[in-house]
Amino acid sequence: MNILGLVVFAIVFGIALRKLGPEGENLIKFFNSFNEATMILVSWIMWYAPLGIMFLVAGKIVEMEDVVLLFTSLGKYICCCLVGHAIHGLLVLPGIYFIFTRRNPYRFLWGIFTPLATAFGTSSSSATLPLMMKCVEE
């Protein structure tokens, strides 16, 4: 999939629509409406995805023979991941932010807490995008 080509095409197409002036406004309004509709669909999917994932995982757990071994292994893995993410997210990244901006990184993190929590809960950048856009605008 050629993402770079698609991005370049979208930029050039947007510039061409602006050059059309009033004649291109209808198409620009269409794409803005399409974007809003897509964001609404993503928010609906975001609400129902955890339920579907829960049933997928429950089905696989029912098929397992040694569930205790599974949960102990998963528990160890989850603990390691949480410790690693905490060190990276609460020490390393704020340190880099402070070095480059000389500002309090934890104040910045508090401002984007809602999108971060959504990203953590959904593991979807598409689901997090509307919230991040709202935080950036505010």
| 24-80 confidence digits (pLDDT tens) | 899 999 999 999 999 999 999 989 999 999 999 999 988 988 889 988 999 999 999
Print the SS3 string covering the chain: CCHHHHHHHHHHHHHHHHHHHHHHHHHHHHHHHHHHHHHHHHHHHHHHHHHHHHHHHHHHHHHCCCHHHHHHHHHHHHHHHHHHHHHHHHHHHHHHHHHHHCCCHHHHHHHCHHHHHHHHHHCCHHHHHHHHHHHHHC
| 98-110 confidence digits (pLDDT tens) | 999 999 999 888 8
The predicted model gives 6-27 an average pLDDT of 92
- Please tell me the predicted confidence (pLDDT) of residue 119: 87
